[in-house]
Chains A and B, each alone.
Chain A
């Protein structure tokens, strides 16, 4: 029942706070002394048990030794691979772990624990299966930041900044915007009803 979700101690800094880079974090402590360290280092919400009406009360747990230890694992550790692993091996390791930890197939009495584990495995997979993000992660590792899952850090490697640069996106984007332009002229199906309503109102008032 204990939690899994660690959030940041450095909530000050970022928009998506978990983009937060440990390096920035250190710099910020000096520039903005009192705040970051005074926030709790671990914010815990209830785990994903079945939601029942009797379990409304949310709880906060500050110490969770079991989870703390797995937080020391690197993404490579989480996937059970070495840092020289190839992409097909990463995919294979991920799918093998999914078959063990995914809540659909895990033993009923361990669903919560396994789900938390599965989410961490996914974070590791998302980073390591993307060559660009893996390079960034490897660089951090080599600089001595050996960490894996943490709410704060997990999006460090999946920033849009990384994504926007990739060529596939640019390629698809141009094709897509062409299609959108065409269909927007006549077809409103892809918009939400609210957007369509606004447009309808605009059209009827003009």
Chain B
């Protein structure tokens, strides 16, 4: 670590980067990075195929953690761990993908409180306090900082091997990430000196790899126009994601997405609670032993678990598969729910699904495989992809495509047509969430709706933007807000407020608002254009504060159909 070529930039407000929807002027090939909750990988198009980089220990999968024990924090790329337990002494921070962009009222944050490092919550809607134990003192950090330290190491490693600067990246992200969480990922990248070309929902990266395989095997090239439908299921340590994609001629059209923060970490914690005697501290040893047992249960019907917790406390237990599945029933039900929801949203019949693709570390769990086979009525799971490498390979392909790289053999004649995983809309009609761009709308997209005032002579209106699926605003993620001023005096219901939302190919969301009055041929005040999200940490407060301050005085309702 003597020659640290790059240091993490300060955690300042701006990501400082603008995503480009066009190819950059430099023909630099963007690298693909799959930041997993527990493991990361990095890959790049090498001119003829995707090449996954290896760290100094010859690993393609690099453990996602950062230890703070020395002067300079060190991540899993450079750091050598003697034992798995070393990661669990409190000096290492991991699972940052579960924590990033979440406030301290979030159950996912609360579920992280029994990890060996410090996750402290005040339960008021601000970011949690996260710290690592260094020389018996808690050294505070943030998920963004931890991720940035890790990304800097990945970047150094890639630059050493590729012998060129690495700047542009395509990252995979969970489907269920809110736009606010995506900005935290972008900020971590900016801190690490990386420029995000695309943030791809994980199963859509796999879909692109699948599209390439289909194109290569069929040499179809739009010839027959035959379309293949695939369901892609990803269950990693932190998240479950599902996508349905329609593929033809190298084009992967995402028909629907579904996801939730359910994953191997939940399975691990449920199983640990089951194994440990009541009142036992969650120890690193127990965690390692449980993890190991879960892995072995993928091939065995039962496993023997032996853990010495110290102080004469020993665990000696046989865990069988039925017991394991019982303990994790909730998790498996959630997986099934997401698959069914995604199939429904994609409007496809199960019989039309050509391939079921399973990726992610937890896709090896027999119960999960059975659920997929049952719901999709398939005897076989697609065998053409490596479950642990598919996402990063897809990200690397997207990196090459968006960098404008062409392949003489047509291996990069690929395209992903993304869909919005969550609806975006505004608060109107009281406390309702009115989507302007619905969930699973193909991107790029631009849609608008008209609203009107609720008070006579209402001069101002609050536009409060949310993202999510809930019918009331509280169930959704707040993205930002702004005020329209200068509405001419008129009875309620007369002014027409047009709210237009635009999502470009790089997934940037802009919101426009215009005021129209009868008799005028153009908006009566300048149109407002705001890039979302605008909220920052502690945004849990904002909606409540707005409500306290303004009540319903600046409300809007949708313009009703007058028959």
Cβ-defined contact, B518 with A39, below 8 A: yes
Chain B min CB distance to A53 (Å): 9
List residues of chain A with CB within 8 A of the CB of B514. Answer: 43, 45, 60
Give the docked Cα–Cα distance between A133 and B107 (Å).
Answer: 42
**B274 interface residue (CB < 8 Å to A):** no
- Does the CB pair A104–B251 fall under 8 Å? no
Q: Are A7 and B344 in contact (CB under 8 A)?
A: no
Min CB distance B334 to A, Å, is 6
Decide if A165 is an interface residue (CB 8 Å cutoff).
Answer: no
B483-501: which have CB < 8 Å to A? 496, 498, 500
Which of B105, B416, B510 makes the CB contact (< 8 A) with A104?
A: B416
A103-B21, A104-B401, A183-B337 known; A62-B225 Cβ under 8 A: no
Cβ of A175 within 8 Å of any chain B Cβ, yes or no, is: yes
Give every chain B residue within 8 A of A34 (Cβ-Cβ): 518-519
**Given known A-B contacts A12-B562, A99-B415, A102-B415, A46 and B470 have beta carbons under 8 A apart:** no
Q: Contact mask B381-403 → A, CB, 8 Å, 1/0?
A: 00000000000000000000110
Is A46 touching B529 in the complex (CB atoms < 8 A)?
yes
Chain B 468-488, CB within 8 Å of chain A: the 1/0 string? 101000111100000000000
- What's the least CB distance linking B181 to chain A, in Å? 11
Indicate whether A195 reaches chain B with its CB closer than 8 angstroms.
yes
- Give the interface segment out of B57-65, B298-306, B442-450: B442-450
Residues 1 to 59 of chain A near chain B (Cβ within 8 Å): 4-5, 7-8, 11-18, 28, 31-32, 34-35, 38-40, 43, 45-46, 48, 50-52, 56-59
Q: Which of A18, A35, A195 has a CB less than 8 Å from the CB of B474? A: A195
Contacts of B21 in A (CB 8 A): 48, 50, 103-104, 111, 115
Which A residues between 100 and 139 are near B, CB-CB below 8 angstroms?
102-105, 108, 111, 115, 118-119, 122, 126, 130
The yes or no answer to A188 lying at the interface (CB within 8 A) is yes
> Which residues 173-201 of A have a CB within 8 angstroms of B?
173, 175-176, 179-180, 182-183, 186-198, 200
| Complex contacts, A43 vs chain B, CB 8 Å | 498, 514, 516, 523
Query: What B residues does A14 contact at CB under 8 A?
Result: 450, 559-561
Nearest CB of B to A20, in Å: 9
* Chain A CB within 8 A of B12 CB: no
Given the contacts A51-B18, A104-B505, A179-B340, A13 and B562 also touching, CB distance less than 8 Å: yes
Q: Is the CB of B330 within 8 A of A186?
A: yes
B80 sits at the interface (CB 8 A):
no
Q: Is there contact, CB below 8 Å, between A35 and B518?
A: yes
Q: How large is the interface on B (under 10, 10 to 19, 20 to 34, 35 or more residues)?
A: 35 or more
The smallest beta-carbon distance between B243 and chain A, in angstroms, is 16
Contact of B248 with A by CB under 8 A: yes
A88 at interface by CB-CB < 8 Å: yes
Taking CB as reference atom, which chain A residue is nearest B478?
A194
> How far apart are A145's CB and chain B's nearest CB, in angstroms?
19
Q: Which residues of B contact A179 (CB under 8 A)?
A: 333, 336-337, 340
A8 CA to B447 CA, complexed, in Å: 12
A175–B340 touching, CB < 8 Å: yes
Q: Is B360 an interface residue (CB 8 A)?
A: no
CA distance A173 to B107 in the complex (A): 27
B560 to A40, Cβ gap below 8 A? no
**B500–A56 touching, CB < 8 Å:** no
Question: Are B445 and A119 in contact, with the CB atoms below 8 A?
Answer: yes
Inter-subunit contact A12/B559 (CB<8 Å): yes
Contact B343 A39 (CB under 8 A): no
Give A61's nearest chain B residue, CB to CB. B522
Interface assignment of B116: CB less than 8 Å from any CB of chain A = no
List residues of chain A with CB within 8 A of the CB of B470: 191-192, 195
**A119 and B446 form a contact (CB under 8 A):** yes
Report A-chain residues with C-beta under 8 Å of the C-beta of B330.
183, 186-187
Would you call B439 an interface residue if the criterion is a C-beta within 8 Å of the partner chain's C-beta atoms? no
Contact, CB under 8 Å: B498 / A103: no
Contact A172 B103 (CB under 8 A): no
A15 to B561, CA, bound (A): 6
- Of B251, B449, B474, B512, the contact of A16 (CB 8 Å cutoff): B449
A89 close to B (CB within 8 Å): yes
CB distance from B468 to the nearest CB of A (A): 6
Q: Mark A130-169, 1 if CB is under 8 A from B, else 0.
A: 1000000000000000000001000100000000001011
Verify A60–B260 contact, CB threshold 8 A: no
B522 and A62 contacting across the interface, CB-CB below 8 Å: yes
Cβ of B261 and Cβ of A189 under 8 Å apart? yes
Quick check: is A95 within 8 A (CB to CB) of the other chain?
Answer: yes
The reply on B373 being an interface residue by CB < 8 A is no
Bound-state CA distance A118–B344 (Å) is 25
B349 contacts A by Cβ under 8 Å = yes
Chain A, Cβ-Cβ closest to B263: A189
On chain B, the residues within 8 Å of A31 by CB distance are 562
Min CB distance, A180 to chain B, in Å?
6
Contact B477 A192 (CB under 8 A): yes
Check A58/B527 contact, CB under 8 A, given A38-B519, A88-B226, A196-B107: yes
**Would you call A17 and B225 a contact (CB within 8 A)?**
no
Q: Contact check: which of B23, B103, B227, B347 meets A193 at CB < 8 Å?
A: B103
In the complex, A98 has a CB within 8 A of chain B: yes
Residue with the highest number of chain A CB atoms closer than 10 Å, among B337, B445, B522, B531: B337
CB distance from B522 to the nearest CB of A (A): 5
Q: Are A172 and B498 in contact (CB under 8 A)?
A: no
20 A-B interface contacts by CB (under 8 A): A14-B560, A18-B448, A39-B496, A40-B516, A43-B498, A46-B529, A51-B18, A58-B529, A62-B522, A91-B227, A91-B246, A92-B248, A103-B444, A104-B401, A105-B415, A115-B505, A122-B442, A151-B447, A169-B347, A187-B330
Give 4 A-B pairs besides A104-B415, A195-B475 with Cβ atoms closer than 8 angstroms. Answer: A17-B449, A38-B519, A48-B504, A104-B401
